[in-house]
Structure 1
Amino acid sequence: MRGFRWPPPPDGGPRTWGPGPGGPRTGRPALPEPETELVATPHGVHLEQLVTGSGEPVTVFAHGLGNGIATTRPFGSGVAGRKVFFQFRGHGRSDAPPGPWSYLDLARDLRAVADLGGAGRAFGASLGAGALCRLLVESPERFARLVFFLPAALDRPRGEAAQQRLTALLEAVETGDASAVAEVVQLELPPVVRNTPAGWSYLRQRLDHLLRDGLAPGLASLPGTVPVSDAGALAAVTAPALVIGCAGDDIHPVEVAEQLAAALPRATLHVYDRPGVLWTERADLRSRISAFLNE
């Protein structure tokens, strides 16, 4: 049976117990990270961003809690035009102004990056989906096309599982101990992927970012807040929307995706039947997102 261990084997693993192949298993070297930039926003917060692609349309990508540009880029791999990826306050090299913060603050970050980049379409994952909902309450006609991936909360706070996961991650990052951070981050991986070359590669990337840039303590209060006070306010959004949920995901309950799809007048809901879709359904997920945004 495979188990998680840190640090990884020097040859990339995986290492298993019992009989079986034990030869070295090498993987491709990681590609160098693209250079990002810090942009000044009208509300005084400098945000880290990366712009890829060229031409129209322009799509802004908003990441999940404790994640960032690197984990959001795969969603835009097949999307046409220019793509703007950024880090919310408290993540990466973005500013961490005095808290506590709310989804309104996150919506301001998202709006500023979208406005500066001329984005007419938006993608939001988890926390980013909540920030996008909050922005749409204020400006329902801001975007022409919308994608919500694994929305985690709408008009009710996130569950205890999400709060515990974030608390554990913040505490581990604060220690600066790679092993402690890895123990928390590996929970993002489906069990079948852990202790594999692909799993180790993902862990290394996440640890490099988290231990280099850290996470702001101000993020701790966000799971206890709500993106919108009344989901009915989203009825004014007329743009076509794709809402993607996943059954069996305790951090991103499928009921939230269903509620959001019901609240948006022109939404299409797609629900995967098991968690870990970035690993188990990656090709289908990318194709689904790009086909919708490229229409």
Structure 2
Amino acid sequence: MRGFRWPPPPDSGPRTWGPGPGGPRTGRPALPEPETELVTTPHGVRLERLVTGTGDPVTVFAHGLGNGIATTRPFGSGVTGRKVFFQFRGHGRSDAPDGPWTYLDLARDLRAVADLGGASRAFGVSLGAGALCRLLTESPERFEKLVFFLPAVLDEPRAPVAWQRVTDLLEAVESGDASAVADVVSLELPSAVRNTPAGWAYLRQRLDQLLRDGLADGLATLPEQVPLRDVTALSAVTAPALVIGCAGDDLHPVEVAERLAAALPRATLHVYDRPGVLWSERADLRDRVSGFLNE
């Protein structure tokens, strides 16, 4: 992959894969990949897991569709205690049992990892937020604190734009064409960041993971599904919750965050005024999440 040249890198940006003089010289470097482990769950699916930090409390982090441990680790950077990161089925080195899968399957993955790690708090982003909602309808008192970042869907189907984005990503990864994958992944970046060294570092990290591990076909039907039959089922959740949304995000409509916060009896809602908060509001987001979980 050292000959990768799409799209042309910016001045002082990365020009090759891996270490060397073509690596990024400015911008935030990607987090190095740590050594993970495979754990066997009670429902027979082996899941890739990473545990960092020490002591209690323990927080489990659930990632979004097509993402994984690397993209959820930054959310835990200021959180005290142990942090349990994992890959849902069909992601990374986790098993990919015969599909199609449902949010119930994802909720079982999340519950198993939380139980094995003794987690009392949970963080879910996008798909992970949906899986967390599904788990809470069955066990509303399972966690003591909850954070939902950019929830994408509750009891109403996603918009066609979200379904198409996931379909495009799955097809690009299946093709093995780095340029096709980069085309789709680059849409995750704000336009102001796409042609910068920091954007390139992110793009390279995502491409390396996706082209190495792939994505399972069983994920293809998830964008058409909903985690809940009725959002009012969350009214039994008693844990304090922080719901974070973002105006102008087509894949994660702010209305979903607002409805989720309204359904949870002890929720606090925060809405950023523009997309790309991981780039434009990174420090505020980190402090907001860690401040809520650590207090």
Q: TM-score, normalised by structure 1?
A: 0.93
CA contact (8 A) 1:158 1:224 kept: yes
SS in 2 for 1:288: helix
Give the AA of the match of 1:168.
D
Give the AA of the match of 2:152.
A
Match of 2:183 in 1: 183
SS in 2 for 1:88: coil
Query: Matches of residues 243-258 of structure 1 in structure 2 within 5 Å?
Result: 243-258=243-258
Q: TM-score, normalised by structure 2?
A: 0.93
Is 1:171 the counterpart of 2:171? The answer is yes
Deviations 1:76-120 (A, max 9, x none): 000000000000000000000001100000000000000000000
CA contact (8 A) 1:5 1:195 kept: no
SS in 2 for 1:131: helix
SS in 2 for 1:51: strand
CA contact (8 A) 1:13 1:195 kept: no
CA contact (8 A) 2:137 2:233 kept: yes
Distance in 1, Cα, partners of 2:253 & 2:217: 25
Distance in 2, Cα, partners of 1:294 & 1:137: 25
Distance in 1, Cα, partners of 2:11 & 2:208: 17
Is 1:26 the counterpart of 2:21? The answer is no
CA contact (8 A) 2:91 2:216 kept: yes
Taking every aligned residue pair, what percent have the same amino acid on both sides? Answer: 81
Is 1:85 the counterpart of 2:89? The answer is no
CA contact (8 A) 1:13 1:196 kept: no
CA contact (8 A) 2:31 2:70 kept: no
Distance in 1, Cα, partners of 2:115 & 2:62: 14
Task: Evaluate the alpha carbon distance shift between residue 263 and residue 25 of structure 1 in structure 2; reply closer, same or farther with a 3 A threshold.
Answer: closer
Query: Matches of residues 126-137 of structure 1 in structure 2 within 5 Å?
Result: 126-137=126-137
| Structure 1: stretches of 5+ with no match in the other structure | 15-23
Give the AA of the match of 2:25.
T
Aligned alpha-carbon RMSD (Å): 1.7
Task: Evaluate the alpha carbon distance shift between residue 29 and residue 251 of structure 1 in structure 2; reply closer, same or farther with a 3 A threshold.
Answer: closer
CA contact (8 A) 2:10 2:196 kept: no
Give the AA of the match of 1:220.
A
Is 1:124 the counterpart of 2:124? The answer is yes
Match of 1:37 in 2: 37
Distance in 2, Cα, partners of 1:74 & 1:248: 23
Distance in 2, Cα, partners of 1:250 & 1:199: 20
Deviates more, 1:82-91 or 1:156-165: 156-165
Distance in 1, Cα, partners of 2:127 & 2:240: 20
CA contact (8 A) 2:12 2:24 kept: yes
The structural deviation recorded for 1:172 is 0.5
- Alignment length, in residue pairs? 283
Task: Evaluate the alpha carbon distance shift between residue 30 and residue 261 of structure 1 in structure 2; reply closer, same or farther with a 3 A threshold.
Answer: closer
Distance in 2, Cα, partners of 1:9 & 1:177: 21
CA contact (8 A) 2:29 2:201 kept: no
SS in 2 for 1:123: strand
Deviations 1:175-200 (A, max 9, x none): 11111100100000000001100000
Match of 2:202 in 1: 202
Match of 1:17 in 2: none
Task: Evaluate the alpha carbon distance shift between residue 29 and residue 146 of structure 1 in structure 2; reply closer, same or farther with a 3 A threshold.
Answer: closer
SS in 2 for 1:284: helix
Give the AA of the match of 1:80.
T
Match of 2:7 in 1: 6
Distance in 1, Cα, partners of 2:159 & 2:61: 24
Task: Evaluate the alpha carbon distance shift between residue 129 and residue 31 of structure 1 in structure 2; reply closer, same or farther with a 3 A threshold.
Answer: closer
Deviates more, 1:30-39 or 1:50-59: 30-39
Distance in 1, Cα, partners of 2:269 & 2:163: 26
Distance in 2, Cα, partners of 1:25 & 1:65: 27
Task: Evaluate the alpha carbon distance shift between residue 10 and residue 258 of structure 1 in structure 2; reply closer, same or farther with a 3 A threshold.
Answer: same
Distance in 2, Cα, partners of 1:25 & 1:86: 28
Query: Matches of residues 208-247 of structure 1 in structure 2 within 5 Å?
Result: 208-247=208-247
